[in-house]
Copies of this chain bind each other. A is one copy, B any other.
Amino acid sequence: PPECGLPLTQMFPPSPSLQQIQFADQKQEFNKRPTKIGRRSLSRSISQSSTDSYSSAASYTDSSDDETSPRDKQQKNSKGSSDFCIKNIKQTDFGRREIEIAEQEMPALMALRKRAQGEKPLAGAKVVGCTHITAQTAVLIETLTALGAQCRWAACNIYSTQNEVAAALAERGLSVFAWKGESEDDFWWCIDRCVNLEGWQPKMILDDGGDLTHWIYKKYPNMFKKIKGIVEESVTGVHRLYQLSKAGKLCVPAMNVNDSVTKQKFDNLYCCRESILDGLKRTTDVMFGGKQAVVCGYGEVGKGCSAALKAMGAIVYVTEIDPICALQACMDGFRLVKLSEVIRQVDIVITCTGNKNVVVRENLDRMKNGCIVCNMGHSNTEIDVASLRTPELTWERVRSQVDHVIWPDGKRIVLLAEGRLLNLSCSTVPTFVLSITATTQALALIELYNAPEGRYKQDVYLLPKKMDEYVASLHLPTFDAHLTELSEEQAKYLGLNKNGPFKPNYYR
């Protein structure tokens, strides 16, 4: 039996599970070729928003770039290599500075690099990756390289590539195939260029969304069988792996990074606690003090949003379907209501349910003038935006990501990001959070690459608890936090190894 990882299927027994909850309606679509834009937004991958941050910050713009497709250009880096395809190799310097800034807030990866001076745990590992290509990812990729890996990379999203970062990576010799504004055809072309190199059999896959995995699985089945491990970050990608596994077609061990406790807690609770405020401010400049808000759903995301708004002086109502979360909301000091009870009086409506049609036209009709409506939860299904596309309503784009929807009587609803995820579209994600995920990805690759024969079977695994704890410990120095160590006597008393793991696997 696996010494330090639990098969996901054991962790997620056949009772209705989180995965099933979140993906139920996607099953029928699974075999459809994914559309890059629509589906991608299903992924709760936070990396994307760093683009916004970047672009809002940069005085440097692409406006002067020529319109030639990168596929039609001949580019070489300063060492003469042209095994890459990016927008403009000349943007290297700017991208390098962005990477250096990111390095400062990714201490765990830098610590791994330092360790790697002695041992190269990924020595010889041929890794293909498909993620957002941002400064933070660049730090990850260059860390993998420092650990001994040979990497080839494509973008998991047609819009999110930071061209300057891609340039900086290419200049350092990485084979990267990505630019901002790829067509769908470009997208798959890049992935294929990344994978399909004469005599290059990838051993590890680092994926975000499952497209790279899917491409190899479908197009290069023999290559797929020789893969040693897959590391997948996104909800969507994990779901696809889980379905493969259920269908008995997953012939490679895969590591589910998405459900590791550090990622869950950080991404959902702590991060949303900050990004809800940031997203609302940047788009609407609303004053929080005294505002009435309703938060639909009191899971981790709803908990974070509610806590933040309350802390800033808003009056928060909560809706829930689950009596246990409902009781938590009560104990935390929020009135638990049905949406219809408060819809006429609230100033802000936030959805965090993972459900669909949580806010429907009838609710929107009853909102008061100026009410802000946004989605922090899942995809773009929570608010029934389609119901607002009717002739009697006027849409007015007042800022980027901000629409006023105007009723015949003059009432305006302020709709953010057209109902897509607010924190992806309208706020940034701190590098520190991305660091946790990136470190988990790196460790997952190391674990799978070095695991002795038989530790992992053809299944989807969570990262061993001990590694979760290791990721966390690598981030403690950022806070100048000093961990207490168990004495021998105490460890014995508790029946624990002094070095952990300290909690059972299911601990959340």
Residues of A within 8 A of B (CB): 6, 10-13, 15-18, 20-25, 53, 57-59, 97, 101, 104-105, 261-262, 265-266, 270-271, 273-274, 277-278, 281-282, 285-290, 292, 308, 310-315, 319-324, 326-339, 341, 345, 354-357, 369-370, 398-400, 402, 412, 427-433, 465, 468-470, 472-473, 475-476, 478-487, 489-490, 492-497, 500-508
Q: Are B323 and A261 in contact (CB under 8 A)?
A: no
Q: Are A337 and B482 in contact (CB under 8 A)?
A: yes
Given A277-B277, A289-B332, 11 additional A-B pairs, CB 8 A: A17-B504, A104-B370, A274-B287, A274-B289, A277-B278, A290-B479, A315-B334, A323-B472, A324-B469, A330-B476, A337-B482
- Residues in B neighbouring A336, C-beta threshold 8 A: 476, 479, 481-483
Q: Are A501 and B16 in contact (CB under 8 A)?
A: yes
Selected contact of A321 from candidates B402, B481, B502, CB within 8 Å? B502
- Residues in B neighbouring A290, C-beta threshold 8 A: 330-331, 333, 478-479
Select the residue from A278, A315, A490 with max chain B CB neighbours within 10 A.
Answer: A315
Residue of B nearest to A285 (CB): B428
Selected contact of A483 from candidates B53, B287, B320, B496, CB within 8 Å? B320
Q: Are A493 and B355 in contact (CB under 8 A)?
A: yes
Residue of B nearest to A291 (CB): B479
Selected contact of A335 from candidates B15, B104, B311, B481, CB within 8 Å? B481
Q: Are A333 and B321 in contact (CB under 8 A)?
A: no
Residue of B nearest to A101 (CB): B398
- Report Cα–Cα, A508/B25, bound state, in Å: 25
Q: A322 and B265 in contact (CB under 8 A), knowing A13-B505, A335-B481, A336-B481?
A: no
Q: A508 and B508 in contact (CB under 8 A), knowing A273-B312, A483-B336?
A: yes
Q: Are B321 and A261 in contact (CB under 8 A)?
A: no
- Report Cα–Cα, A190/B98, bound state, in Å: 44
- Residues in B neighbouring A494, C-beta threshold 8 A: 21-22, 24, 354-355
Q: A480 and B16 in contact (CB under 8 A), knowing A322-B502, A432-B287?
A: no
Chain B's nearest CB lies how many Å from the CB of A163? 18
- Residues in B neighbouring A487, C-beta threshold 8 A: 357
Q: Are B270 and A331 in contact (CB under 8 A)?
A: yes
Q: Are B24 and A476 in contact (CB under 8 A)?
A: no
- Report Cα–Cα, A204/B265, bound state, in Å: 41
8 closest residue pairs by CB, A with B: A24-B495, A311-B311, A287-B430, A336-B481, A323-B472, A323-B473, A290-B330, A322-B502
Q: How many identical subunits does the complex contain?
A: 4
- Report Cα–Cα, A333/B503, bound state, in Å: 22
- Report Cα–Cα, A273/B290, bound state, in Å: 13
- Residues in B neighbouring A495, C-beta threshold 8 A: 16, 20-21, 23-24
- Report Cα–Cα, A429/B285, bound state, in Å: 7
Residue of B nearest to A471 (CB): B323
- Residues in B neighbouring A312, C-beta threshold 8 A: 273-274, 277, 308, 311, 333
Q: Are A313 and B332 in contact (CB under 8 A)?
A: yes
What would be 11 A-B contacts, judged by CB atoms less than 8 Å apart? A18-B503, A20-B495, A274-B289, A277-B277, A278-B278, A287-B432, A320-B484, A324-B502, A337-B481, A506-B508, A508-B508
- Residues in B neighbouring A273, C-beta threshold 8 A: 289, 312-313
- Residues in B neighbouring A17, C-beta threshold 8 A: 504
Select the residue from A18, A105, A480, A496 with max chain B CB neighbours within 10 A.
Answer: A480
Residue of B nearest to A505 (CB): B15
- Report Cα–Cα, A292/B58, bound state, in Å: 28
- Residues in B neighbouring A496, C-beta threshold 8 A: 16, 21, 24
Q: Are A493 and B356 in contact (CB under 8 A)?
A: yes
- Report Cα–Cα, A398/B101, bound state, in Å: 10
Q: Are A321 and B486 in contact (CB under 8 A)?
A: yes
Q: Are A289 and B313 in contact (CB under 8 A)?
A: no
- Residues in B neighbouring A492, C-beta threshold 8 A: 24-25
Q: Are B485 and A321 in contact (CB under 8 A)?
A: yes
Select the residue from A16, A24, A319, A508 with max chain B CB neighbours within 10 A.
Answer: A16
- Residues in B neighbouring A431, C-beta threshold 8 A: 285
Q: Are A274 and B288 in contact (CB under 8 A)?
A: yes
- Residues in B neighbouring A430, C-beta threshold 8 A: 285-287
Chain B's nearest CB lies how many Å from the CB of A440? 12
Q: A315 and B335 in contact (CB under 8 A), knowing A21-B496, A494-B21, A506-B506?
A: yes
- Report Cα–Cα, A456/B397, bound state, in Å: 49
Residue of B nearest to A502 (CB): B322
Selected contact of A15 from candidates B97, B281, B433, B501, CB within 8 Å? B501
Q: Are B13 and A355 in contact (CB under 8 A)?
A: no
Q: Are B506 and A11 in contact (CB under 8 A)?
A: yes
Q: A6 and B13 in contact (CB under 8 A), knowing A285-B430, A333-B314?
A: yes
